[in-house]
Amino acid sequence: MMRSSQPLTGTNGRRCKEDEKLINATLRPGKRGYIIDTRSLNVAQQARAKGGGFEQEAHYPQWRRIHKCIERFNILQESLIKLVEACNDQSHNMDRWLSKLEASNWLTHIKEILTAACLAAQCIDREGASVLVHGTEGTDSTLQVTSLAQIILDPSCRTIRGFESLVVREWLQAGHPFQQRCAQSAYSNSKQKWEAPVFLLFLDCVWQILRQFPCSFEFNEQFLIMLFEHAYASQFGTFLGNNENERSKLKLSQKTMSLWSWVNRSEELSKFQNPLFEANSLVIWPSVAPQSLQLWEGVFLRWNRPSKFLDEAHEEMINIIKYN
C-alpha cells in the first residue's frame, strides 16, 4: 500500500513518466493495482482547474481508480462542533437528541472512512493487489485510510507498540499537520481555517473496530482517549509541529520529552492494557452498517455522566482475568 498526494495533471492532462514508473514498480507480476482516491469523482475533476487532478487511465493502464469520498477536513470541524453541541444539550427531548446527532454527520464520516479503509484492505488481502491511496494533499483522509487499513490487515498494529509505531509512521512522519488541525478543538471562538478533527476521527474509527473485536487489541479505550488528549494539548513534544521538518527545526527531540517514553513505562502501560486481549493473526473486518457504529461515549459523553459504572465493569473484567 502506498500513499501520496494528488498528481498534478492539471487541465492539460500532463503526465510524468517517473511517477508512472514509480507506482508501477509496486505492481505484483501479472496483477493490476487499485488507486483509491478519497475525493468524489467530481471533486477530483474540479481539482484539475487548480493544477491538480487524478491519474488518467491512459497513462496508468494497469491501475483501476476507485473514488471513495471522504469529506474534506474543513467540513469535519463543523461536524465536531455540532456533535459537541448536541452532547451539551441537556434537554430531555429524545427527538431533538437524535436529530442533532444526525445533523452533525459525525457517524456518517466514521462510516465513510471505515468503508474506504476496508476497501483498501480488501484490495490487498482479497485481491492480492497493490494499492495507492491519495486525496488532495495526502495529509488527512489519505492517512486515515492507510492507517486503518493496516489495523484491519496487520495484527501487529493492534499491539501497543505496533499501534504507537503506526501513529508515528502514518501520522507524524507522514506529515499530518497536527499543529494546524489540533489547535482549538470544538470550543474555539474564532473560526480556525485549518482546524479539523481528522486524527480524532481516526481514533474513533479504531474504537469502533475495537468495540467489534474486543479481544483483538492489546490496548483499551483509555489508550485511544489518551492519544486524543495529547494530540490537542500535551506536556510532551511528540505531537507538536506539522511535520518532521518543523520538528527537526524546533529541535524538539532535544528540548522536549517524548510521549512514548512516558506511556511505555510499565506503571503507565498497565492502565492502557486490554485485559481481554488474545493475540491472533487474523485479518479483522469491521461491519460498517449503521447499526454497528455507535457514538463514542467515552469521548463525547465523558463529562456528562459518571464513568463509575463502566469503570467498575472494566475493573471487574481485569479481576476475573487476573485471578485466572
- Find the binding residues for another protein in span 281-320 (CB under 8 A): 281-285, 287-295, 297, 301, 304-305, 308-310, 312-313, 316-317, 320
Cα–Cα distance measured from residue 220 to residue 269, given in angstroms and rounded to the nearest whole number: 10
CB 70 to another protein: min, Å: 13
Where in 127-146 is the site for another protein (CB under 8 A)? Answer: 127
* 213 vs 223 by CB, closer to another protein: 213
3-class state of residue 135 by DSSP: coil
Task: Using the minimum distance from each CB to another protein, give the nearer residue, 12 or 90.
Answer: 90
Does 45 bind another protein (CB under 8 A)? Our answer is no
**225 touching another protein, by CB under 8 A:** no
To another protein, the closest distance from the beta carbon of 51 in angstroms equals 26
* Closest approach of another protein to the CB of residue 225, in Å: 16
Stretch that binds another protein, among 5-13, 18-26, 87-95, 242-250 (CB under 8 A): 87-95
Q: What is the DSSP string of 299-317?
A: HHSTTTS--HHHHHHHHHH
Residue 168 in contact with another protein, rule: CB under 8 A = no
Q: Which of 153, 89, 165 is nearest to 124 (CA)?
A: 153
Asked whether position 213 contacts another protein by CB under 8 A, the answer is yes
Is 31 strand, coil or helix? coil
Taking Cα atoms as reference points, which of 304, 301, 303, 307 lies closest to residue 83? 301
| CB nearer another protein, residue 200 or residue 209 | 209
- Which 3-32 residues touch another protein, going by CB under 8 A? none
Q: Contact 196/178 with Cβ under 8 angstroms?
A: no
Q: Rounded distance, CA 166 to CA 133, Å?
A: 16
Burial of 58 (0-12, 13-18, 19+ CB in 10 A): exposed
Confirm or reject binding of residue 49 to another protein (CB under 8 A).
no
Q: Which is nearer to another protein, 102 or 268 (CB)?
A: 102
Of the pair 235, 323, the CB lying nearest another protein is at 323
| Least distance CB 240 / another protein (angstroms) | 33
Among 18, 30, 95, 233, binds another protein (CB under 8 A): 95
CB 183 within 8 A of CB 244: no
Cell numbers for 313, please give them: 465493569
Q: How many angstroms separate the CA atoms of 217 and 238, rounded?
A: 23
Q: Residue 2, interface with another protein (CB under 8 A)?
A: no
Site string for another protein, 50-69 (x = CB under 8 A): --------------x-xx--
233 near 227, Cβ under 8 Å?
no
- What is the Cα–Cα distance from 224 to 170, expressed in whole angstroms? 16
Burial class (CB in 10 A: 0-12, 13-18, 19+), 24: middle
- Please select the residue that binds another protein; options are 242, 273, 276, 307, rule is CB under 8 A: 276
Indicate whether 187 belongs to the interface with another protein (CB under 8 A).
no
